[in-house]
Structures are given as C-alpha cells and as structure tokens.
A and B are shown apart, each in its own frame.
Chain A
Amino acid sequence: MPVNLLDIQKKLNDFSSQAQARRQKLARRQEEIINLIEGYADRLDELRDRVARAVEHYPQLRCAVPCGEALDAVIPMPDLPARFTVLAADGSQINPSRHARVEFCVINVGLVKMMRGSGMTPEVKTISQLLDYDALFLPAGGMITEGMVALKRDLQEREALLQISENLRPPAISMTDGPLELYHEPRESAEFTQTFEKYLDVLRDLSERGLMISGYVDKPGSDLIVRLLELVHMSDEDLASPGQYRRRFGGVRDISLMQGLLNSPGDRSALFAIFSQTAMRYGKELLPHFFYLNVGGAGKPHLARVEVPGWVARDPEAVGKLQAVLMEQAAMMGTRPYPYILHRAHEVAVVTLPEHEHVEGMIVAEFQRRGIPVDEQSYKQYHKDLPTGKTRYQG
C-alpha cells in the first residue's frame, strides 16, 4: 500500500527544525575542536599521556593517537611511481535463509590486479566458495548469522589477495573496502577468535611479501580524533564514570575537522594510530593506523579515510606512494572519485539475483537427483518475490 504521505508531510517541519538545531549545535562544537587542534597541534606527548591516563580509568577507551606528525599537518602528494602493482579485493555473499528452498551460503570474492606502466591487461579473478553445509548450523542450534558470514568474507578477501600476490614486483599496493580492523559481532565468540587469528596470519603473510595493504573508507563517519581531543577536557572523575559522562563533542566527526585542512587534491592528514583493546591484539607491526586523504579534484575536495598497518605507517615513503596511487585510482573515476580498481573488484564480486537463483537451482537439482527432499519456498518469501511490475514480450 502506498505510504501515507500526508502523515509524513505533517512531521516535516518539525523534523527539519530539529535537524537545523542539531547542525548549529554541532557547528559550535566543531569550532571548539578546531581551536583545540590548533592549540594542541604540536603537544603530541601531552596527548599521549592523556590517553595513557585515561585508559587506566576506562579500559574500553577507543580513540586516535598521534604518531609524530602535528595534528594539523598537511602532507602533499608525492609523484606517482612509474611502475607499480595495485591489487584490490572485494567480497559479497549469499546469506543462508530458512525461507528459501534450500539453506546454503556462498561467499564470492572478486580480485583485480593491475600492473601500472606495463601496458598489460589487468588480471581479474572470481573465487566463489559454497560454505560447508555443516558450517551453516551452530553447535548451540540455529543458523550461522549474517555477521559471521561477513566476518568469513572479510577473511577471504585478504586470503584471496594472498593468491594473486606471489612474486610481486615492488612497489605493490593493495586495497580493500572498509577498515583493516575486523569489527563484527559477536566479538568474543570462539568462532570469532579463530577467524581473527587466521586473519592476522594472512596479514602477516601479505606484509612479508612487501604488499602495502590498505583499507579504504569512503564517506568516513568515525570520530577517533574527536574522542582524543575530548580527553583534554575530561577530569579524572569524568573518566571514571564513562557511562554518565556526556560527551562534550559528541556528534562531530573527524572528517569535518579535516575538511578545512586538506584543500589540495592528494593532500593527506597526519597519521594516527588506533588505540583500543581490540586494536592492541594486532601487535605493533600490524596495528591499524589511519590518515585522511583528499581524493577530490581541484576545488572539489572529497575526503576518504585510509587505514594501513603499523609497518607501512612508519615508512613515510611507503605512505607517500600509497597516497599517490590511491589518488590516481580515485581520479580515474572522474567526477565521483573512488578507486577504480576497488570498484572493479566489487563489480566482479557482486552476486546478482539471477545468479543467486541459478545457484539455488543447481543445488536443488543436485538434491533432487540424490533424492534429498527439498523444501518449498516459504510462502512469505514467495509472495515477497512476486514481480510487481509487468513485462510482456513485445519483441
């Protein structure tokens, strides 16, 4: 049934007023933080002390930690290397559903390898994994969750990178969509731990090959730097009772702080390390660091957040190459900058509905061939799937 637009219309005024008020509030906070950044730009040790102190009171603290570059540093993009290799991996999945005729799960990873300056056609590969039937069901009962599948997918994306990164010729850069950190519920299950360990192994292997891995976050919403600066004004009491503490700069995002700084295409911000309980598990070499990068064109800045492992972060030259390569990749998409190779990987990975149906059909056929009974589609699902539009064959 159609949405009752009249109901919506009535609320619009109020809604907009609220938004406006919030905007204004955040703008004030933003201004304050920017002043703080200016003030504390070089007082890095002080900030680091603050963090150390805060974590004693509040172990769950999660914020950015400056590495050595001033808070308001702006580092321009160096020249692009003449030849380099750039890799990207992206994954998509078919989540199991009890509404379908059969329960199955597919993780599909797309890989692209481009050797810039070689004049050769980039290599494109798809790796599709049908999860073990057994793996679909949890020991405690119930089916594997979407979150768990996503986790497996993240792991497989990096494992896939391993597959095409043999005999790499430096410099070699890889990117995946999203942060390097695995952020998935349930964090503390045994399953998660197992997966996480594997993930770290893979990252290590990739590093050993000299591959500069990175995670690319478009339209970043994190506020790690804001949280760092909040610590400046927090008293010990505040720190001790984080539940009651009303965040001073809540709602402001890091990106709004960086936007005023990174004006020229290719400019990057200072490098920050991610400080959190989970981040600690990565170890020094692999600890996720990040910086902001302006991938937009002249006069039209567009900021992305790039995560890199510790060993890359400590190598300014490496970071510079990464910066240049990312910039080039994003520029390829013209008016809407986004790394081309990452988009391609996504394109290769994506599972269309017909493909979904085709795979389901394959499984159903095999089951039927073997005499394994196949359920009906749930009626709920059936009716959901009915085509709403009408298409008649008219040549």
Chain B
Amino acid sequence: MNDEKSEIMELGSQGNSGEIGYIVGGGLKANLQARLSVPAQTVQEGAFVVIESGGWLFYGLVTDLQLGSTDPRFADEQSEARLPTQLARMLHGQTLYTNLEILTALMMEQGPEPGTEEYDAWYQQVLDEQIRPEPVKTVPQHHAQVRLAQAGDIAEIFGKEGKGAFFRIGDTLEGGHPVCVDLDKLVQRSAGIFGATGTGKSFLTRVILSGLIHRDKTAVLIFDMHNEYGPDDTASDTGLRVPGLKNKFRNKVRMVGLGRGATIRGEQPDYTLEIAESDIAPEDVMMLAQELNLRETTPTTLEALRVSFGHESWFHEFKHMRVNAYQYDEEGKRYPAPDSVAAWAESAGVHPAAAEALHSKLRRLFNAPYIVEEPAANALKQMIDNLDNGQHVVLSFGKHETDLDYLFVSNLLTRRIRDVWERRTNDFRSGHQGASEPRPLVIVVEEAHKLLNREMASQTAFSTIAREMRKYYVTLLIIDQRPSQIYDEVMSQLGTRVTGWLGDSDDIHAVLTGLAGREALRGMLARLQPKEEVLMLGWGVPMPIVIRSRRYNEAFWDDLLGKQAGQSNEQIMKELGY
C-alpha cells in the first residue's frame, strides 16, 4: 500500500496529475459520486480533488468512501480462494469498486495549458482576482476525470504563499501542498479556532497569531489566560521549549501583567495593569452574575448604587460600606450604622437583605489586589496607545487565574477598548477634523464558552463585538474547546472557523452553525487526526479544506522571520515601534 501511495505522491510531484477516478453520479444537492480507479487506500477522506469537465474545473473535498459491487455476491464470496489469482484480480477489477463522495465547493474556468504565454497571463488574472473561483452552480459530466489537487490548484484557490496577505497555515493531506489563509480576510469578521483539549489548538493559534503580528496590518490584543502565547512555554508532551511571541517579536509585542508587581514566569512584564475602581461599571458586575451567583435583585441594587453615588464612585462607596454594622440609639434600639449597607439600602429604597447579599458576593472583587482606587499608571491608556501605534499587546493574568478574574478583567478591558474604537470610528466617519481611520483590532479570547454562552450573551462586550461584525474595526478571535456552549447566534456570526478534532457531536454541530449544507463535513470533523489535522471553513476561506497544520517550531520561525535578514534600518525602527 505504501508503494501505491508514494506512487501517487510521486505522480503529483512530477506535475503529472494522475486520474484517481471518474464521475458516475450524484448531483448538486446531494454531492457527487465518483468511481475510484486507483486502490482505495491511496485516497483519504478530506482529500482535495479537482474535476475537469466542459472547460471548467470543479474543486471539492472527498467526504466519504464507499465500497460497492455490481452484485452483492461478488463482495460476499471470497473468489480469491476459488479462482486462480490472476482471474480473481480481473474479476474484482470489474465487479468490486470504491466510490468517492465529493462535496464540490467551487468552480472556475479552466485556463490555458501551463507553460504557454497565455497561461502566464491567465494566471496573473487569477492572482489579481479578475478570474476567481465561484460557488458551484452546475455539475460536471458523467465520466469527468477526477484527480488530486496539485500545488497549482491549491494556489489558485487559496492563494500563493508570500503574496500579499496569504499566509501558509498548513499543507494538504495528499501531496503536502501548501495551503494559505488570507490574514486580512481572516480578521474582517470574528473567527474561531476550535478543537478538543489536547488537539494542538494553542500551537495553531500561535501560528496564526505569529502570522498576524508579522503581517502587521491589524493590532492584536491577546488575553493570555494560561500564559501560553506571550512568554516562552514548554510543550507538555515533548518537554521541548516553545518560543513565545514576546521572544520572537521583541518590542513589537508588549507584555502586560495584571496587578502591581506582577511577574510573568519570573520575568518582569513591560508594564503592569491595575484597574481603577472608577472604571468599573454596573454591567461589568452583571456579567459575573453566574460566576458570583448573583440574585435577580442585583440589577436593581446596582442601579440604585449608581444613582446614589454616580458612575465613577459607586464601586468605591459600596466597597467601603460595612455590613453588620449597628449602632444603638437612646432607647437601646439597634439601628444600622450610617456607613452600613443596610443604612444605605433603606435610604435608597432597596431591600437591605438584597444589598447585603450583593455586598457579600462582591467580596471577591473588593478583595482583588488589582482593583485599586488609584492605579499607579494609566495602563489602560497605555494599552490603547500601544495598539494604535502598531504594537500588539499580550495581557497576562499572572497569579490571578480564576475564572472570575479572567471574565471580569477581559470583559472590562474589552468594553473600554471597544468604546474607544467606537468613538474613533464615528469621528472618522463623520469626517471629524483630524480623525484618521482606526487601526483594525482583533481581540483574542480563550475559553470563549465562558464569555459567550447563552446566559451571558446579552451582557458581554464580546457578544456585542461579535454581533457588530467589525462595524467599529474590532473583531474577535475566539479559541474554544466547547463550541456547543457558545451562544449559537454568536457562532453563526463567525466567519472563518479553523477546527481540529472534536469528539462531541454537539460541538461538531455547533462549529458548522450558520454554514449552509455542510452535513457532509460532520463525519469528517469527527475523523480528523488529533494534533495533526484541522478543517478550515467558513467566510474568508474559499472552500472547506482539511489541512495538516503547520508545525510551530524553529523552522517555522526561520521561515517567517528569516526573510527579514538584511532588513533596512527603516524597517528595524518600525519594528521597534517608532
């Protein structure tokens, strides 16, 4: 079998694309059926195939392989035992077959012969996107030849590596041809990277982030919950050192630690972030309703607080109220102390028990060391400046690793930053004097199902961003292993999805939400090889494709950065952020 496989690969590499089969049936709605004319083991699910027919090229994925026979008895009976070998082989060649099910996605007019002048001109048109693949509207003819896609086919569809925003994200399964993703397009909508735990999501994310940062058209803000992206890491399975973004991009990437004195893996961050009490809005607290198990009375209480103390002080005031603080009056009657929660509640017309309950529930926030009355520096502003100026920010949570910290901090920051971007966008659009176009920003969040589940869908800044679809130049890049728990309205707004193996059928279903007619891909998702294979699909990807993801190692960095050897001073200065 290996011989046959390498034979096919050899054919591919010689540019002599061998036919692997021919169309025998199927249709537009129900996928095409092709009869395999080579041994079945040489083709795998997910293979990218090209069908030539009537001057058109149809591009598709193999979504199923089925064994068939012209009569079931040929399959049942082991005629190899009854007939001489040669005869049995001839018999089986005509009576036993394998059919491929092919999901076609794109079709394109066939260009002239490669190597001719016309071909070069035509290819240029393709690159300039004057000739482009379009969604399939028709079917190839019976007996149209099916072949494995070659490097040229992949490049025609997915772009040529190194050209423009095309970034090599991996290789095809058959033939190992490079597959590119358009990084600019990737961040034009919110995107998602999915996969069960241990499938190499973080490596893939590193690859993509590196590409984005290197491309430098979009600012990247990463909430690095587990310190995987910014600092160097150690691979859990191999024990090898994994270089971080900070290491490779130096001053282009700013590492921010949460809380004064925070360190990241024993190293000093570029600066630290503290959250001012005055920055906290009631909706930031509401977002934590599930986490803190807040009651239904909370919104009322919060609103009362805001009314009582104003937007910027309510938190501070509430924090310093006392509970169970009583005084005694003349008659010895007990009454709440003036600085108590109960006292305020009465005065505000809020049920004291509710207020006290809220107060006790907010204790964790009150005790958070990174929430201070007066932050040492305006780190938030600094973050925004960094992002404006062509740098990228990685926020590390340090020792504040609870879900509460993560949810609270990332949501608050996102809300603030998004507000800034909204203002800037409005200024720009209304032609406000001096207003320039905001720099596109992508916010990278992990454990997205904690932030974007149904319960919180209406409350977080993230869901707002997801729904707005880059209205204000901000998109998300969510990374998650339980997509089924993400609000499906949000999922349906996602553009590109890059997904590794998912075991849960609900998760698989969720990843495909909002994409028409992708039933064929469900099985493929379940059969991806963990740690190696990912399926890339959705808006921003010309057609679904299974790839072997690029390895995040030294070779990757050489590839990516190596081209920068001998760069000009100007480029170096730019890299340094000036």
- Establish whether A and B are touching in the complex (CB under 8 Å): no
Interface residues, chain B, with chain A CB atoms under 8 Å away: none
Interface residues, chain A, with chain B CB atoms under 8 Å away: none
